């Protein structure tokens, strides 16, 4: 890391006369005593900065002249610019294109009868509904009254309940056998 010697810059442009600080006290006290003895005498102070004559008297006029010349135009930003519309349209397009991706049926929930049901189960189903109890053609089925339909529904419900109880009782037996092994 370099040392920062910026405070020791010899070529800064500012120089003090020789023996300036040695004689400074004497000169300061001489001026102060002169001011105390003769208050009407003002000490001229030189700062090194000068302002042209009449500068502050004409400053206001020059300022207003510059302001009136530059007539600044304010930038008006519309609420609905082309850029805003393109952002909104692109977001809407992305959303509309993404919706079908989430709601399309991929076929995972569909039931494939051939995979899920064995041939024996299909045959039992066909045998059950082709028995004499359900041997109705369309003309006979259309002529059934509401009471007949209710009676058929009740019979099928009792048959389904009996089959369900029989199935559950068999499952319990097999579960018990598996646990005891």
Instruction: Please give the chain's pLDDT, 181 residues, in tens.
Output: 566 666 666 676 777 878 878 888 888 888 888 777 776 666 566 667 788 888 888 888 888 888 777 666 777 777 777 888 899 999 999 999 988 887 776 666 566 656 666 677 767 766 766 665 555 565 666 666 777 777 877 777 777 777 777 776 776 667 766 777 6
pTM score, whole prediction: 0.23
Q: What SS3 state is found at 132? A: helix
H helix intervals, the chain: 24-37, 55-70, 82-103, 113-116, 119-129, 138-142, 146-180
pLDDT (0 to 100) of residue 134: 57
Q: What is the CB neighbour count within 10 angstroms for residue 152?
A: 15
Give pLDDT, residue 47.
67
Q: What does the alpha-carbon distance between residue 90 and residue 93 come to, in Å, rounded to a whole number?
A: 5
Two tokens, residue 47: 């700062």
> Where do the structural domains in the chain lie, given as residue ranges?
116-180
Query: What is the rounded distance in angstroms from the CA atom of residue 41 to the CA atom of residue 31?
Result: 11
């Amino acid at each position: 890391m370099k040392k920062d010697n910026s405070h020791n810059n010899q070529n800064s442009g500012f120089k003090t006369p020789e023996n300036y600080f040695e004689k400074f006290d004497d000169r300061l006290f001489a001026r102060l005593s002169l001011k105390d003895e003769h208050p009407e005498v003002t000490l001229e102070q030189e700062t090194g900065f000068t302002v042209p004559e009449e500068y502050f008297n004409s400053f206001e006029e020059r300022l207003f002249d510059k302001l009136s010349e530059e007539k600044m135009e304010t930038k008006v930003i519309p609420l609905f610019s082309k850029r805003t519309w393109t952002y909104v349209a692109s977001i809407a397009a992305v959303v509309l294109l993404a919706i079908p991706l989430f709601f399309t049926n991929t076929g995972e929930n569909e039931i494939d009868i051939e995979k899920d049901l064995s041939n024996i189960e299909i045959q039992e189903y066909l045998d059950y509904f082709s028995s004499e109890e359900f041997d109705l053609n369309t003309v006979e089925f259309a002529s059934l009254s509401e009471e007949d339909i209710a009676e058929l529904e009740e019979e099928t419900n009792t048959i389904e309940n009996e089959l369900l109880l029989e199935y559950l009782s068999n499952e319990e037996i097999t579960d018990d056998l598996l646990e005891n092994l």
